[in-house]
Amino acid sequence: MNQSNNVLVAQSGGPSMVINQSLAGVVLAARADVRAGEIYGARHGIRGILEGDIVDLRAIPEATLERVARTPSSALGSVRMKPTPEDCARIFGKLRSLGVRWFFYIGGNDSAETADIIGREAARAGEELVCFHVPKTIDNDLRENDHTPGFGSAARFVASAFIGDDLDNRALGGVKINIVMGRHAGFLTAASALARRAPGDGPHLIYLPERPFSGRRFADDVMRCMEKYGRCVVAVSEGIADERGTLVASKFSSERDAHGNLQLGGSGALGDALADLLKRETRGAVKRVRADTFGYLQRSFPGIASETDAREARAVGEEAVRAALSGKWASGSIAIRRAPGQAYAVSYEVVPLASVAKNTRSMPDAFIAPEGNDVTQAFIDYARPIVGELPPVETI
Amino acid sequence: MNQSNNVLVAQSGGPSMVINQSLAGVVLAARADVRAGEIYGARHGIRGILEGDIVDLRAIPEATLERVARTPSSALGSVRMKPTPEDCARIFGKLRSLGVRWFFYIGGNDSAETADIIGREAARAGEELVCFHVPKTIDNDLRENDHTPGFGSAARFVASAFIGDDLDNRALGGVKINIVMGRHAGFLTAASALARRAPGDGPHLIYLPERPFSGRRFADDVMRCMEKYGRCVVAVSEGIADERGTLVASKFSSERDAHGNLQLGGSGALGDALADLLKRETRGAVKRVRADTFGYLQRSFPGIASETDAREARAVGEEAVRAALSGKWASGSIAIRRAPGQAYAVSYEVVPLASVAKNTRSMPDAFIAPEGNDVTQAFIDYARPIVGELPPVETI
């Protein structure tokens, strides 16, 4: 006999500009459903469950929630934590005492893995817990999804930054390298290509984790670009790796998180190393070289979210509640599918947790130029509706 | 006998988000004045004059110019070049052949120095050239000015970035260091304080070039902040220097420009070094430390300009034309003065070129907290109207 009918939601992994839209989606959809009792939020993901750091989300006025939805980063706080079976047992105890029947975890592939672990352990322990993952990742690397909430807004930041930075480089010349987030997948780095409006616009070169990176080829590419345009703007993914698959950034970092991922963000070392490499390989022929690492601004800059992204982030939260409360599934994740045809349209589908957990997807070959240093028109067509209209520019 | 009545304008130094507003101000004010003949633009500052890279700015439709005005970076291109007397003689030859009587140079203190050199050489050579500087610098360090065009928009970027980054840090904890532009003056780094809305909001510590930087004190400050808030967001100026006045960043850079300035931007080395210092000085007590260097995005990010800043940048261009064509001055610069009283209002005044050339101003003591690691309310009151309303945020 289990009379639990309460909801608990939490956020996990790296924040995004629209992850609070998903939170608002879960909370408002649950509020609108008579089957839902209390609606709790756990602070800092499953850590908040373990530590009893719980917020009453029914008590928050709708207008406040709407302002939270438009605020970047994870309003409930986040965590990077992979639960052990013992953690799970303690989590179930806490959830039972809170009368929680429906558990929602908003995050990327590591968060999906956490939800999957909790879902499996719950089934094994005979807990009556429905466990749903709500997708979020600026990396756009969740399988099953055409694209993921958070990507469109981060891509909008990256494309906007490249528009400005290309104009800056046009004014003062030289080589400009910008390091973009993306551990295994190059989608976000590829989004820099949306900055191009006219022939000659940067970025002129784009390096992705999906193709092996060679310092020698990089220097040759840049030299050719300098000869052609007298300047060169380069987008480089933080996740680039050499022929053997070794992360170029691993030479400068050794810190790992709970899921075993190497720390890549929050350091300018890769950009600086590539700038040095360029000066060395070109024997001083390239003089003015600058490197910026966009860093955490890509995932939390206020006031720049893509409207499409914000709308879809809201929808996946609502869809997760709809699916979970329907009683048809013990667990699952919501995937975004794109409708075929010219006009942009999406639908949402319930997929098994295991299909999005842990493993990620990369850029399809059709999105990468044969030379391995650019994207294709197919990628541009794919990304543009997700990112939306970019700020207009005019040159003389 | 000199029948020259043409205008030439150029841009110099680091770009900004509103430097094209000043360009539009010069061009549209000159177009509206019957005394002005042709209106030329030189590409890449005085280099364009020397190389004959000249654009007809009368031919550009007003609607196009208005779009250019809203586009970040220097539409005519920029340069960092200090003219020799020989350069000046060649410049005069070119200007004479173009029939230029009024010369406008938009830029910071180095550009004012260039304008001053050209003005003095012109007087010595008996050239009938009127030479005006139009102020621009995101560093806000021009003397005579209450504040400078470009600062408000860069400050808006910095404050917005800190709003997002503080929310990000709130979600995942640890220490976050952000390196902000500002060679000698801390104004732009100080603007990070505008990100604070509620007690406990970051940045929690602000380090400026105006106060000697000590690694030991920095580590102590951060440890105290961690004890109080469990997290710490830090704003650090790229121009911080030790007790002896040695730039901390000089340990990582040796590149200098034509005006003798050390290269500070375009490298993440300072942030990374401070993160390492922190881990070392706290003997590992502070674990999660990340550093981002905002870099060139601060001066060229599209769609984020402060409206007040844009309006004033336009006005200084117009005022320069008004002053130059009045025939009252052989040379000068336009300074922004703030009217006394509660309501924000400014006026524009002609000042001698020498008074803004080369030397810069720093943050007044009244803007810096006695502890040397924060700003005062007086600074907040000073900066807020220049930066304008920031994106709203809501927390749970």
Question: What is the tens place of the pLDDT at every residue in A24-48?
Answer: 999 999 999 999 999 999 999 999 9
Mean pLDDT along residues A332-341: 96
Would you name the residues of A annotated as active-site residues? 139
Per-residue pLDDT reduced to its tens digit, A166-213 = 999 999 999 999 999 998 999 999 999 999 999 999 999 999 999 999
Mean pLDDT along residues A356-361: 91
Per-residue pLDDT reduced to its tens digit, B299-356 = 999 999 999 999 999 999 999 999 999 999 999 999 999 999 889 999 999 999 999 9
Dihedral sign, Cα of residue A269, residue A273, residue A276, residue A278: negative
Are B6-149+304-355 and B155-303+362-387 equal in CATH topology?
yes
Local confidence band at A361 (pLDDT 50, 70, 90 cut-offs): very high
A80, A290, A396 ranked by CB distance to B60: nearest? A396
Question: Chain B interface, mutation test: which of A17, A21, A167, most B Cβ atoms within 10 Å?
Answer: A167
pLDDT(B103) > 50: yes
3-state secondary structure of B106: strand
pLDDT(A91) > 60: yes
Check residue B283 and give its pLDDT.
Answer: 87
Assigned CATH for A6-149+304-355: 3.40.50.450
Q: For residues B139 and B187, what is the distance between their CA atoms, to the nearest angstrom?
A: 7
**Pairing mode, if any, of strands A100-107 and A6-11?**
parallel
Question: Taking CA atoms, what residue in B is nearest to A161?
Answer: B301
Question: Taking CA atoms, what residue in A is nearest to B393?
Answer: A71
> A-chain residues within 8 Å CB-CB of B67?
392-394
Dihedral sign, Cα of residue A233, residue B258, residue B190, residue B149: negative
Assigned CATH for B155-303+362-387: 3.40.50.460
A68, A160, A301 ranked by CB distance to B302: nearest? A160
Do residue B171 and residue A77 have CB atoms under 8 angstroms apart?
Answer: yes
CB contact at 8 A, A209 and A240? yes
Nearest to A61 by CA among B4, B167, B396: B396
Whole-angstrom CA distances from A20 to A71, A136, A372, B174 are 7, 10, 36, 21
* Catalytic pick among B139, B166, B201, B221: B139
A41, A44, A393 ranked by CB distance to B396: nearest? A41
Check residue B291 and give its pLDDT.
Answer: 93
| Residues counted in chain A | 396
Mean pLDDT along residues A306-335: 98
Closest CA of chain B from A370, distance in Å: 30
Closest CA of chain A from B82, distance in Å: 15
Question: Chain A interface, mutation test: which of B9, B22, B23, B165, most A Cβ atoms within 10 Å?
Answer: B165
Q: Where are the domains of chain A?
A: 6-149+304-355, 155-301+362-387
CATH architecture label of A155-301+362-387: 3-Layer(aba) Sandwich (3.40)
Local confidence band at B230 (pLDDT 50, 70, 90 cut-offs): very high
Check residue A1 and give its pLDDT.
Answer: 36
DSSP notation for A54-89: EEESSSS-HHHHHHHHTS-S-TT-----PPPHHHHH
Mean pLDDT along residues A101-118: 97
Check residue A38 and give its pLDDT.
Answer: 98
Q: pLDDT above 70 covers what percent of chain B?
A: 95
pLDDT(B1) > 50: no
Q: pLDDT above 90 covers what percent of chain B?
A: 89
> B-chain residues within 8 Å CB-CB of A271?
267-268
Share the mean pLDDT of chain A: 95
Per-residue pLDDT reduced to its tens digit, B240-288 = 999 999 999 887 666 666 666 666 666 788 998 999 999 998 888 888 8
Per-residue pLDDT reduced to its tens digit, B372-388 = 999 999 999 999 999 99
Q: For residues B379 and A280, what is the distance between their CA atoms, to the nearest angstrom?
A: 44
Q: pLDDT above 90 covers what percent of chain A?
A: 89
Closest CA of chain B from A331, distance in Å: 26
**Interface A:B, Cβ pairs < 8 A:** 203
> B-chain residues within 8 Å CB-CB of A76?
396
Check residue A268 and give its pLDDT.
Answer: 85
Question: Taking CA atoms, what residue in B is nearest to A70?
Answer: B393
E strand segments, B38-159: 39-42, 54-56, 100-107, 130-135
Q: For residues B141 and B11, what is the distance between their CA atoms, to the nearest angstrom?
A: 18
Break chain A down into helix, strand, coil percent, rounded to 5: 40, 20, 40
Instruction: Compute φ and ψ for A342, nearest 5 degrees.
Output: -70, -50
Do residue A72 and residue B290 have CB atoms under 8 angstroms apart?
Answer: no
Is residue B87 flagged as an active site residue?
no
A60, A77, A170 ranked by CB distance to B170: nearest? A77
For residues A161 and A257, the model is more confident at A161
Per-residue pLDDT reduced to its tens digit, A117-130 = 999 999 999 999 99
Mean pLDDT along residues A67-84: 97
CB contact at 8 A, B179 and B270? yes
Whole-angstrom CA distances from B294 to B162, B163, B286, B318 are 10, 14, 23, 32
B77, B266, B391 ranked by CB distance to A291: nearest? B266
Share the mean pLDDT of chain B: 95
